[in-house]
Amino acid sequence: MSNQSQHPFKWRQFQPEIIVLCVRWYLRYALSYRDLEEIMLERGLHIDHTTIYRWVQQYAPEMEKRCRPHLKGFTDSWKVDETYIKIKKVWVYLYRAVDSRGNTLEFLLSPTRNAEAAKGFFVKALQPSACSTASPELDNVQMGRKVGFSTPESAPRVINTDKHAAYPKAIADLKAAGVLPQYVELRQVKYLNNLIEQDHRFIKRLTKPGMGFSSFETAWRTLQGYEAMNMIRKGQLRGVAKGDVRSQMALISELFGVAA
């Protein structure tokens, strides 16, 4: 384990508790960086909004990474859909999947919406432990090689999608490659995906105050934090229930090794 992983706040000017608080609030509530600068000023803390931005860029992906080992299990019915995220006035695609209970399974930011992007997303979803930290633009063939093209134990029984033509091709290609078992059923019925379309709202609400992202990389790093916070909020981590805000707050502090 690297020294930065063991001591993530080493050499920081502000106390770790303040850093975690700012990052947690930004990822949980629809606040801009300038909103947080003003809120901290009310508490007597002079923290520039660009400093808070740098904290989010560093610790949002770290939060997602530290959450992964604590996730509860998922059902074998997946609901997959994409939503739109704006980067420099250009729309890109955030692929997302939830299970039948609405628990977030996986997510991936892609500049394109086609069969190749869908394949990359499915490979990441099938091997979360191997690919959760992968670059969002990593070629899906490379991702498949990384996980060895073995039939994963985490494969779903059924995948529900909308009627976009990319999904049948992506799933057929993955079955042919042995990445996805032959028994997996694809259902393309729009009303079956209402659950994930509703789940998109939490992410969309958070992206509005920032008026879009400045680059693909900054968007991806921030979105990892949004999704991790969404999982925590929904009670997906072991030992912390949905709606138990104080326990969720304590868990995040514990993940970073700081006092709640």
**pLDDT tens digits along 99-123:** 999 999 999 999 999 999 999 999 9
Domains of the chain listed by start with CATH number: 3-70+215-255 (no CATH), 77-199 (3.30.420.10)
The three-point CA angle 185-186-191 to 5° equals 125
Instruction: State the pTM of this model.
Output: 0.86
What is the rounded CA–CA span in Å between residue 87 and residue 238?
34
What is the rounded CA–CA span in Å between residue 179 and residue 186?
15
Q: What 8-state DSSP symbol labels residue 191?
A: G
How many residues can be counted in the chain? Answer: 260
Give the model's pLDDT for residue 147: 36
Tokens 């693909």, located at residue: 216
The total of other beta-carbon atoms located within 10 Å of residue 40's CB is 21
226 or 88: which leads in pLDDT: 226
pLDDT band at 72 (very low <50, low <70, confident <90, very high): very high
The answer to whether 46 and 39 have CB atoms below 8 angstroms apart is: no
**pLDDT tens digits along 238-256:** 999 999 999 999 999 999 9
